[in-house]
Structure 1
């Protein structure tokens, strides 16, 4: 009287079109269907050969073969597309209902105690599907149950089973109850876990949106300040040029030297303002230029060391064969921020290592400071995450992390095991900064 274990869909959350979770849910359904096929095969063979209850083996094994083909088709679908719709999941559950109905048809219909497994399909549908498809599944299972009360293949019991028929039915009901209870606990536990993971993902998305809004505000303020500073800096440059032509200043070498130093500082300020104005646009905009990994980072590290007058930067190039990429101001500024952060805590020296891991470049910066506090490591990449109390501190690694995220990379940090400092690693996929990506 046992028809076998049910074919049940285990999909953690209701899925909308384009939801990446749909792909994972279908994958779980495929995995569970393999288990269901194995369980049904074992149950059918046990019923046939251990209990001596004759079953239509060819037909029931044919249903299992159909489930195998369904799984292979589902795997092919997941390889072609990365999203699974509510309709596709509804179709999968309907096929599970059809498979269970077929197995019950060949093993006693509604007289089989395992007919209660239809309730499991209804529970899953109510949790996993949209409202219309949940009710459609209720109609489908109710119709299948009603049909099995009138149309089914009776089971022919061996001699001696007639006297214990009711006891056998009760035993089957108990096995069905235990099976449904175990499956529901397993499903609901996994559903709750996936719902918690989805909530955490939504929280992360909201936090990222808030951070990006914060970056936009910073960019707008920086761009506005740069525009405002442009005019006074130009005026200062003109005034200093006029001063150099004054006879009293021209005849005094000390004053000439002071004016030249002031002109150099004004030019430096103008260069910084120009860089801010360029960076306020798209991170991969018209300021990009063709270069290579080695040429870019060699130049950026050298420019940073010269601009900061930092002579204790030890640069190691372990990248390997060079790769053509697109250079842009924002990426260079991110590297500047990364190096600034290390040099500030380790004025005695920093180690900079450029390397390649698979299809990504890594820039590791190791300092000789006191390391990160545990809460700083836990909140790496968040704004104002700094041990310094000055207003505006803690934006350096925040901006580096956002540049890395925009380019599909990561920013990681850890304290050295010997307590001699910390290491921050920027990883960027080469495809994100390749010439093909930039101009394609």
Structure 2
């Protein structure tokens, strides 16, 4: 049995559709756990009350309206069956449903007490358990309604209830049936309270931690959106000057002073190459921003995608010793994703900066997951960076604005349903592993086969 409080207001979270969606999902999970708790408590109550009826009626020879009390228990059984069916529906379980469930529990307890001695029944103090559950599970107004209802029920039982034909043997202490009943009720309430309070504390702590993670994720998403808008705007602004530079350099190549000078011609060629690279970067930014999804969604395969990515990165970076192994196995048709391409480039760039002499890229498959590992022989990650992996501005470079590479990679992978892990190698250096579900990038005609592996 688990209790998760839905009555405690939380601080205003950062705005964002992601947080709202995750918060609704968290609230729905909370409501379902709370309803599951009430269902489990009813099972315990039904078995306990059934056993008590048998013991009192047949063991102590105290006459009870057994048939009517069993009908009440049958009503609880039907309520639990309906509650179990409700658990299967996708609609969110909120305060109103839990409130009505507790009211029904109070009503059934009142009927059972009315049939077994009214307010003189020592188990009348089980009303306190209903009030405590209301305080834990419900909103404030609902809790007050439960308290007023149980108070009125207690008063009605005291006014109209008929005590059971029990001997007045209170002076016998624990040998008195009434005192024994009160003792059992006290122990039962105490045990349930200890169990519930402990679970309330644990689940509230877990829920607060979960909400803190949701706030952090929403803040990171908002940060990503702002960076994306700035990058997209900058890419638009850079398009015109880059095109102008490309035209000017093309004209220079045909001018006699430059054509006759081999060194100048070579430098112009290099400048054109760098301009083309800048234009490619700008196109990649716009592509990742969703402004050219037609190109972004072209089909390819895992091997072709990674081989092209590696060739492109190797040709444009001053890497001395680069090791590349692709052990993916049977090839798979996928959608070429520019954001994923740029993410792997970012990890490779970080490894190259930390280890200019050697970088290794390994590709392999585990079940339905694509794994891409990048290793280097640099100084490795500081423990603080490993503890805060994926958060912005976590870097050992000491430059303003540094530490965004892994943050961006983490968010891209998280959006695609993947993950990123980092560790330090025993022999020195660092290892960064990107994992991505193949079902996310597989072409539509092959997704059925991928999911059915």
Shorter-chain TM-score: which interval? 0.7 to 0.9
User: Per-residue deviation at 1:336?
Assistant: 1.5
User: Per-residue deviation at 1:345?
Assistant: 2.7
- Do residues 30 (structure 1) and 39 (structure 2) align? yes
Q: Deviations over 1:76-95 (max 9, x none)?
A: 32222262111111122122
Of 342, 357, 370, the match for 1:361: 370
Q: Structure 2 stretches of 5 or more lacking a match? A: 9-22, 448-453
Q: Map residues 257-272 of structure 1 onto 2, 5 A cutoff.
A: 257-272=266-281
Q: Map residues 364-379 of structure 1 onto 2, 5 A cutoff.
A: 364-379=373-388
Q: Which residue number corresponds to residue 327 of structure 2?
A: 317
What TM-score, normalized to structure 1?
0.83
User: Per-residue deviation at 1:405?
Assistant: 2.0
Q: Which residue number corresponds to residue 331 of structure 1?
A: 340
| Number of equivalent positions | 425
- Distance in 2 separating the partners of 1:183 and 1:155: 27
Q: Map residues 241-260 of structure 1 onto 2, 5 A cutoff.
A: 241-260=250-269
Q: Deviations over 1:245-279 (max 9, x none)?
A: 22232123232222212211221122112222322
- Distance in 2 separating the partners of 1:17 and 1:243: 61
Q: Map residues 40-51 of structure 1 onto 2, 5 A cutoff.
A: 40-47=49-56, 51=60
On the 8 A contact 1:9/1:124 being kept in 2, the answer is no
Q: Which residue number corresponds to residue 179 of structure 1?
A: 188
Q: Map residues 8-87 of structure 1 onto 2, 5 A cutoff.
A: 10=3, 12-14=5-7, 19-20=27-28, 21-47=30-56, 51=60, 53-81=62-90, 83-87=92-96
Q: Which residue number corresponds to residue 189 of structure 1?
A: 198
Secondary structure, aligned partner of 1:361: strand
What TM-score, normalized to structure 2?
0.81
Of 133, 138, 141, the match for 1:129: 138
Alpha-carbon distance change, 195 to 60 in structure 1, aligned in 2, over 3 angstroms: same
- Distance in 2 separating the partners of 1:120 and 1:34: 15
Secondary structure, aligned partner of 1:275: helix
- Distance in 1 separating the partners of 2:348 and 2:196: 49
Q: Deviations over 1:349-380 (max 9, x none)?
A: 3242231444x433333444443222111111
- Distance in 2 separating the partners of 1:186 and 1:407: 40
Of 421, 424, 427, the match for 2:432: 424
- Distance in 2 separating the partners of 1:62 and 1:132: 32
- Do residues 352 (structure 1) and 373 (structure 2) align? no
- Do residues 141 (structure 1) and 143 (structure 2) align? no
Q: Which residue number corresponds to residue 240 of structure 1?
A: 249
Secondary structure, aligned partner of 2:421: strand
Q: Structure 1 stretches of 5 or more lacking a match? A: 1-7
Q: Which residue number corresponds to residue 14 of structure 2?
A: none
On the 8 A contact 2:417/2:436 being kept in 1, the answer is yes
Q: Which residue number corresponds to residue 299 of structure 1?
A: 308
Indicate the RMSD between aligned Cα atoms, in angstroms: 3.3
Secondary structure, aligned partner of 2:390: coil
User: Per-residue deviation at 1:104?
Assistant: 1.9
Q: Deviations over 1:383-438 (max 9, x none)?
A: 0111221222211110011112222332222334x35443333233344434459x
